[in-house]
Structure 1
Amino acid sequence: MADPAYLATEKLQQAVSANEPLTFRQPPHNVEAEQALLGAILVNNEALDRVSGFLSPDHFFEPLHGRIFETLATLIHAGKVATPITVKTFFENVEPIDASTTVPQYLGRLAANATTIINAAEYGRTIYDLATRRALIVIGEDMVNTAYESAVDQAPKAQIEEAETRLYSLAEQNKYGKGFETFKSALATAIEVANSAFQRAGHLSGASTGLSDLDSKLGGLQRSDLIILAGRPSMGKTALATNIAYNVAKAYQSERRADGSTETTNGGIVGFFSLEMSSEQLATRILAEQAEISSEKIRRGMIDENEFRKLSEVANEMSRIPLYIDQTGGITIAQLSSRARKLKRQHGLDLIVVDYLQLLAGSKGRGENRVQEVTEITTGLKALAKELDLPIMALSQLSRQVEAREDKRPQLSDLRESGSIEQDADVVMFVYREEYYVERTKPNEGTPEFADWMTKMSQVSGKAECIIGKQRHGPVGTVELSFEGQFTRFGNLARDFMLPRD
């Protein structure tokens, strides 16, 4: 079988020898639409307002047209009038278009041939769409060239992720930054949020965590929020995040819109980035919680037939919930963003959980300046939350200075690299279990101290605190929760008035 490259070369040589004209594909463009838009703006400067929200000089195929558009926009935004007369001074020394036409003369022709500004927005949209097609061509060509000429140490997976990021950025670049909207429009959106909160169970504006007392403080997990859940080792931050992720996925309900798309009406589809534990370990935790069988017994196989049957039934029920786990360790913030976008495109996505923040790397991998790297990570997570319009819950470690204090309840200053984490987060929560510390001060039995210790243990046993240290749109404070260590399960703490009477 002949080499395709050889056949192509041979065909080219035959065309040259036969004096046949060679045809080349030009990038998609419409010079007439560009001329019509520029002429409309020159005749009536208000035409710029119809396209300035989405069109930029880079979108023009003809470089001169892009430069003219930029000059017109600069003058008009400065409060000046842009006409062929006022603009020509910026182009008098520019090289003529051809032997008989200078750029100032060309500006006059553009204005003379302009008819109306009614179609200005359509001309602008045509220019924008064609620029998008040209950008797609560039991305495709770069993909091909990189695949041909990639270095030996460059993994194909890295190229795929880079291409995905570029394509998604191209698709989303006009989604945000739409400029001003009327207050009436903003009010309508606010009423829609209030209405959905009124109709949703628990009257929450965000997704329910499954913990009613925490929901009452947060109003649920709010879209576009970056939520930091921090705690010292063994406090249960992974357990709490897992509980919340499962509760959100279990409550998932959706309905079809008129346009055929799917809208989440309750709960949500969850993406869980488990950078520390494997997907099997994470599944075992959730299985133990739901089946109420100790995870230690499950791992060691210390279960009887009835317990195994119960595990199978619970696992069968759990397999239907929309919870997706990515167990890749050491990924960069760019890789995480790319995978989250892909999951949203393919299956939908309403909540991201990252366990945990310090195991992520910056775009260039782990560098020497960890503070700058964490800043890039937290900024990237917040930008991703806004871009995908969903809450992101990122777990974080606390510094050891907590252990040096008598009161070991964490505070904002205990966050590692706290500057960027505290600044970028919309909500910062801490998990604290006093039982953990009291248990480790157990004195010898039979001593007076032991009786005091037993009293203290009875007061803190099975209890946990979720301390809300920061919340942009709500109150701070402490939420008391129950904690069952053997099932790694947090729950609503029963109040005295809720307890059954004798």
Structure 2
Amino acid sequence: MSSVIPFGGAPSNEGATFRTPPHNFEAEQALLGALLLNNRAFEKVAEFLRPEHFAEPAHGRIFAACAKLVERGQIANPVTLKTYFESDGGLAEIGGTAYLAQLANSVVSIINAEDYGKLIHDLHLRRELIALGEDLVNHAFEPTIETSAMEQIGKAEAQLYELATTGQTEGGFETFNAVLIEAVRQAEAAHKRQGKLSGVPTGLVDLDTKLGGLHSSDLLILAGRPSMGKTSLATNIAFNAAKAYREEVDALGARKAVDGAVTAFFSLEMSAEQLATRILAEQAEIPSHKIRQGELANDEFERLVTAAQELHRLPLFIDDTPALSISAVRTRARRLKRQHGLNLIVIDYLQLLRGSGGSSEQNRVQEVSEITRGLKALAKELDVPVIALSQLSRAVEQREDKRPQLADLRESGSIEQDADVVMFVFREQYYLERAEPGQRPDETPEKFNERHAKWQQRCEEVWNTAEVIVAKQRHGPVGTVRLSFHGEFTKFGNLITGDHYQDPGF
């Protein structure tokens, strides 16, 4: 029954009852007893249950000790644990070492061990949710000039997201042993995958070989001058990753990607319809202008319909909101990961994002620095690779060799520093087509024909090809990867060479 609070007054405590946080000591005792009776019960809960999930601290310490012994290949029972807990004051309060034998003797079966573990985990999340709610209410009651309501909402959403994904609301140190186990798991997953990739596949063989796939928590910058194909390459990668997506379900019913990626594409330059038309054109191999103008033959329309039927099932999500702030990108990405899962983020393009706008005196270089730091933090928080497209300065056009360099990045200091990988898209064909040599006044026809023949030969060598220049990579080598590029379909693919062939679907 609720009480009326007079305006300007304090809430009445009349009729208030004290509520204890949700817990179930009986379930904790049953699980520990099953574990002490038969250590194989640990296998059923090891994937998701941690010592801190127990409401009774002594139960958490018993579980941690059992886990250490089992992982060493030793037996965990009241006899082997007695030595560890003889001096444990917390255990003495509930019966001392005799309590261990009591737990083991009171169990009839280990069949329900997994159900007990899930219940313990669920109650832990509820306690954490209560604590988070109390903090949220207290912070909302104490408004400050420095922190706006929207910033409080963003922080609360971040805490909720972390609670939903990890079951813990605050970060901290991890033991090297735990980190090492996770590294071995990733290596095992890479070993099982076709192509031996440790990251999300791009679908482009040579690029995957150079990068080892797109690695979780990495910020990858894909840069180039206009008309080089940045957006086309990004959409190709997003499509290939979504097409390769496969998942499995863990012990708690959560979905986990084993290949490919659920992909979020933030298109700040093109509308969602334009981007969808471009992807349709790439996959149906129909020039996009023919789709827009309706100039399709019957067989082309059939290919278009077939491609659309295949595409609509892909886990590819597009957000075409213009001028998004970095905080809005973070909020929408968290929401998508909660609702559908998320394994890859693509942003087209970095210079169209906005910073927090906290200071009117902030110049563009500082704003871009904030954006790149925010994107790197987002990649680490969500544990996904983030590909951000970037423009290049006009300095490229002034050089004879038009291949981009790291110094050509706009506001290059922060972008180059924060990025784990920096790649440039370069198509020599684009420049050659605009540089057909003309005959000089003092040049003989023979000399002109010789120069023109060399130009024509070079055009044939680079026809329908592109280069991805990996200029920086924290985890691997740098170098140049050659790809095929069909301009009329804006489609990148694997280049046919002596050791591998283009994919049949190209």
Aligned to 1:484: 486
Q: Does 1:213 align with 2:179?
A: no
- Structure 2 counterpart of 1:431, from 404, 425, 431: 425
Stretches of structure 1 that go unaligned for 5 or more consecutive residues are 1-6, 31-52, 55-114, 147-153
Report SS of the residue matched to 2:476. coil
Q: Does 1:203 align with 2:196?
A: yes
Stretches of structure 2 that go unaligned for 5 or more consecutive residues are 23-50, 53-87, 94-120, 440-444
- Structure 1 counterpart of 2:272, from 256, 259, 279: 279
Aligned to 1:71: none
Report SS of the residue matched to 1:431. strand
Shift in alpha-carbon separation, 1:365–1:336, aligned structure 2, 3 A:
farther
Q: Does 1:311 align with 2:304?
A: yes
- Structure 2 counterpart of 1:136, from 133, 142, 153: 133
Using the TM superposition, give the Cα deviation of residue 182 of structure 1 relative to its aligned residue in structure 2, in angstroms.
3.9
Q: Does 1:241 align with 2:234?
A: yes
- Structure 1 counterpart of 2:395, from 398, 401, 423: 401
Alignment partners' CA distance in 1, 2:375 and 2:15: 47
- Structure 2 counterpart of 1:390, from 384, 391, 394: 384
Using the TM superposition, give the Cα deviation of residue 309 of structure 1 relative to its aligned residue in structure 2, in angstroms.
1.6
Alignment partners' CA distance in 1, 2:318 and 2:348: 11
Answer yes or no: is the 8 Å Cα contact 2:163–2:169 preserved in 1. Answer: no
- Structure 2 counterpart of 1:347, from 329, 340, 349: 340
Counterpart amino acid of 2:453? Answer: A
Answer yes or no: is the 8 Å Cα contact 2:125–2:167 preserved in 1. Answer: no
Alignment partners' CA distance in 1, 2:258 and 2:210: 21
Aligned residues: 397
Using the TM superposition, give the Cα deviation of residue 372 of structure 1 relative to its aligned residue in structure 2, in angstroms.
1.3
Shift in alpha-carbon separation, 1:10–1:399, aligned structure 2, 3 A:
closer
- Structure 1 counterpart of 2:412, from 413, 418, 427: 418
Alignment partners' CA distance in 1, 2:217 and 2:438: 52
Alignment partners' CA distance in 1, 2:129 and 2:92: 20
Counterpart amino acid of 1:268? Answer: A
Report SS of the residue matched to 2:89. coil
Range moving further from structure 2, 405-414 or 441-450:
441-450
* Structure 1 length-normalised TM: 0.70
Using the TM superposition, give the Cα deviation of residue 201 of structure 1 relative to its aligned residue in structure 2, in angstroms.
0.9
Deviation track 1:191-210 (CA, whole Å, cap 9, x = no partner) reads: 22222111101111111100
Deviation track 1:205-232 (CA, whole Å, cap 9, x = no partner) reads: 1111000000111111111111111111
Shift in alpha-carbon separation, 1:467–1:11, aligned structure 2, 3 A:
closer
Counterpart amino acid of 2:467? Answer: E
Alignment partners' CA distance in 2, 1:366 and 1:277: 29
Using the TM superposition, give the Cα deviation of residue 262 of structure 1 relative to its aligned residue in structure 2, in angstroms.
1.3
Using the TM superposition, give the Cα deviation of residue 373 of structure 1 relative to its aligned residue in structure 2, in angstroms.
1.1
Identical counterparts, % of pairs: 52
Aligned to 1:372: 366
- Structure 2 counterpart of 1:229, from 208, 216, 222: 222
Alignment partners' CA distance in 1, 2:13 and 2:322: 56
Using the TM superposition, give the Cα deviation of residue 453 of structure 1 relative to its aligned residue in structure 2, in angstroms.
2.6
Q: Does 1:179 align with 2:163?
A: no
Deviation track 1:61-82 (CA, whole Å, cap 9, x = no partner) reads: xxxxxxxxxxxxxxxxxxxxxx
Using the TM superposition, give the Cα deviation of residue 401 of structure 1 relative to its aligned residue in structure 2, in angstroms.
0.9
Using the TM superposition, give the Cα deviation of residue 139 of structure 1 relative to its aligned residue in structure 2, in angstroms.
2.6
Report SS of the residue matched to 2:402. coil
Counterpart amino acid of 1:464? Answer: A
Counterpart amino acid of 1:312? Answer: V
Range moving further from structure 2, 185-194 or 226-235:
185-194
- Structure 2 counterpart of 1:323, from 308, 312, 316: 316
Aligned to 1:289: 282
Shift in alpha-carbon separation, 1:145–1:329, aligned structure 2, 3 A:
farther
Range moving further from structure 2, 401-410 or 188-197:
188-197
Alignment partners' CA distance in 1, 2:229 and 2:18: 60
Alignment partners' CA distance in 1, 2:357 and 2:92: 46
Alignment partners' CA distance in 1, 2:163 and 2:132: 8
Alignment partners' CA distance in 2, 1:475 and 1:488: 28
Counterpart amino acid of 2:436? Answer: K
Deviation track 1:456-483 (CA, whole Å, cap 9, x = no partner) reads: 2112111111000111110000001111
* Structure 2 length-normalised TM: 0.70
Aligned to 1:254: 247
Alignment partners' CA distance in 2, 1:10 and 1:206: 59
Shift in alpha-carbon separation, 1:132–1:314, aligned structure 2, 3 A:
closer
Q: CA RMSD in A?
A: 3.8
Answer yes or no: is the 8 Å Cα contact 2:162–2:168 preserved in 1. Answer: no
